[in-house]
């Protein structure tokens, strides 16, 4: 039985909330963000019938993790996006506690969503259903209902189906927690998207030589680039190290080879996907010309998210920029997708000692910086990047207690590409060998000042604003 519709309340929330969000000086000028309320994971990223579609976890009714719907944007060029009708709302028994994350496929010409129906019970327990929905002629989605109940041997934490086609079959990876409270990824197979056969665990805590690796793995995604198959996932509960795994929960990847016939994934150690303060739940898709793209949530669950000042203006979080993935010697590299260059204004250039570089307005700016010395980049004194010979150290104050917090990328950084928006900084290191994505909340107009006597070569561009229409 369908429960009460959230639609009237969502409409009211958008009418009341959108002006406040869009007038907030921290609201992004060219990144995707919610028009009101809370956004988290990107979902259903796909190129379908000539357009890109990107869905997102959205609570229009407030900044808490509740009432999750699927919002929907589409774009022809990956730069200019438009709003589409809300795709999914939690209005059935099997998804009443939230239409949780999932993916999209082209099922014989029909745009089809695979998502998790989350159900929470009064005693604190929960279950989940993997569900389908398909696009109708109005651009909205009709729910087809659950196709997979909770598999045996797992708790109610089974979710986030990522589905793809390989040969004759559909394959799905699912994030799961087993009854010993270990995080796992399951591989499933289907001929028709309706009947699924569980092929078993392909990675997880205690598997394939990984050791203890967390109590729940969320948002798995699997794809092949050249000779390597990559499994992206978000392992919750892995042990913090001095300079790695410092966020409450990370986005990570394993690189290896997948044997479809035996459902075995041989892989090496975990790598951090992003070394900044905010990055989680990324999702990938293929473009028509064969590129692999990634977009992530520039947020982290369970951290200091509710302290972000935008909550006072009724909105919270944004996406990362769209990135192209490549594989270099089994390592995943990320670079801003080439289409974003359309946002660039006139190119400027500076060469000379760091401290003599003019101060730049960084509300919307892209920089390509080459240097081999010691430099400090201060983003309005709110986010500070120390560029040392063998590491980058990014510093920011805790929103909770004002203490300085640090994130690190270790290695010899020769070249940085930095993308700035009103409240975010994305730093791409050595053509994408590393990335540090972070939100920050400066007083505007935010400014970049550099110190150090190292010689720099800097190309930079002011970026045009580009709001969703």
What residues are labeled active site? 41
320 binding ligand FRU? (CB under 6 A): no
Sheet holding 292-297, edge to edge: 280-286, 292-297, 323-328, 331-336
433 binding ligand FRU? (CB under 6 A): no
236 binding ligand FRU? (CB under 6 A): no
Q: Which is nearer to ligand FRU, 203 or 463 (CB)?
A: 203
Which has the closest alpha carbon to 387: 399, 375, 371, 401?
375
40 binding ligand FRU? (CB under 6 A): yes
Q: 252, exposed or middle or buried, with CB in 10 Å at 0-12, 13-18, 19+?
A: buried
Footprint on residues 109-128 left by ligand FRU (CB under 6 A)? 116
437 binding ligand FRU? (CB under 6 A): no
Which has the closest alpha carbon to 310: 70, 11, 30, 37?
37
68 binding ligand FRU? (CB under 6 A): yes
Return the residue of 24, 33, 37, 41 that touches ligand FRU, per CB under 6 A.
41
Question: For 78, which DSSP code?
Answer: S
Peptide bond into 247 cis (omega under 30): no
Q: Which is nearer to ligand FRU, 13 or 446 (CB)?
A: 13
> Cα separation of 417 and 411, whole Å?
16
* Per-residue binding letters, 264-283, with ligand FRU (x by CB under 6 A): ----------------xx--
Return the residue of 36, 75, 101, 182 that touches ligand FRU, per CB under 6 A.
101
301 binding ligand FRU? (CB under 6 A): yes
Pairing status of strand 323-328 against strand 315-316: unpaired
Residue with tokens 């196709």: 147
Q: With the CA atoms of 38, 42, 44 and 50 taken in that order, what torsion angle do they form, in degrees rounded to the nearest 10?
A: 110
* Per-residue binding letters, 155-184, with ligand FRU (x by CB under 6 A): ----xx------------------------
84 binding ligand FRU? (CB under 6 A): no
* Per-residue binding letters, 190-219, with ligand FRU (x by CB under 6 A): ----------------------------xx
Closest approach of ligand FRU to the CB of residue 100, in Å: 3
Contacts with 89 (C-beta within 8 Å, 6 or more apart), sequence order: 5, 6, 7, 10, 69, 99
Positions in the binding site for ligand FRU (CB under 6 A): 40-41, 57, 68, 100-101, 116, 159-160, 218-219, 280-281, 301
């Amino acid at each position: 039985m369908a429960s009460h519709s959230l639609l009237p309340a969502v409409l009211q929330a958008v009418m009341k909330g959108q002006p406040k969000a869009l007038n907030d000086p921290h609201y992004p000028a060219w990144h995707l963000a919610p028009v009101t309320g809370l956004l988290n994971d990107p979902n259903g990223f796909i190129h379908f019938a000539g357009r890109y579609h990107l869905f997102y976890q959205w609570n229009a009714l407030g900044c808490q993790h509740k009432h999750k719907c699927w919002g929907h944007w589409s774009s022809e060029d990956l730069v200019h996006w438009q709003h589409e009708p809300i795709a999914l709302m939690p209005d059935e028994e099997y998804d009443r506690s939230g239409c949780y994350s999932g993916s999209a496929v082209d099922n014989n010409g029909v745009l089809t969503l695979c998502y998790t129906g989350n159900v929470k019970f009064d005693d604190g327990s929960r279950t989940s259903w993997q569900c389908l929905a398909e696009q109708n002629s109005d651009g909205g989605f009709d729910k087809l209902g659950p196709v997979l109940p909770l598999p045996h041997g797992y708790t109610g934490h089974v979710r986030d189906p990522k589905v793809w086609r390989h040969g004759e079959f559909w394959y799905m990876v699912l994030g799961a927690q087993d009854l010993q409270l270990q995080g796992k990824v399951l591989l499933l197979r289907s001929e028709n998207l309706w009947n699924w056969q569980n092929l078993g665990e392909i990675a997880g805590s205690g598997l394939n030589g990984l050791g203890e690796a967390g109590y729940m793995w969320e948002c798995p995604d699997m794809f092949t680039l050249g000779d390597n198959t990559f499994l992206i996932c978000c392992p919750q509960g892995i042990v913090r190290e001095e300079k790695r795994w410092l966020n409450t929960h990370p986005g990570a990847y394993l690189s290896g080879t997948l044997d479809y016939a035996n459902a075995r994934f041989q892989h090496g150690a975990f790598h951090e996907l992003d070394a900044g303060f905010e990055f989680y739940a990324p999702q990938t898709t293929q473009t028509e010309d064969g590129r692999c793209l990634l977009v992530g949530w520039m947020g982290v669950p369970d951290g200091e998210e509710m302290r972000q000042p935008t909550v006072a203006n009724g909105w919270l979080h944004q996406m990362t920029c769209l990135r192209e993935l490549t594989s270099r010697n089994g390592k995943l590299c990320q670079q801003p997708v080439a289409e974003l260059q359309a946002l660039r204004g006139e190119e400027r250039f500076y060469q000379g000692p760091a401290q003599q570089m003019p101060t730049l307005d960084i509300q919307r700016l892209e920089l390509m910086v080459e240097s081999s010395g010691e430099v400090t980049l201060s983003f309005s004194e709110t986010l500070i990047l120390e560029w040392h010979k063998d590491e980058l150290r990014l510093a920011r104050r805790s929103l909770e207690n004002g203490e300085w917090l640090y994130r690190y990328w270790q290695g010899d950084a020769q070249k940085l590409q930095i993308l700035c928006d009103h409240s975010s900084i994305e730093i791409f290191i050595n053509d994408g060998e590393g990335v540090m994505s972070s939100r920050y909340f400066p007083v505007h107009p935010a400014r970049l000042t550099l110190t150090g006597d190292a010689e720099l070569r800097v190309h930079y561009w002011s970026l045009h604003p580009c709001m969703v229409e």
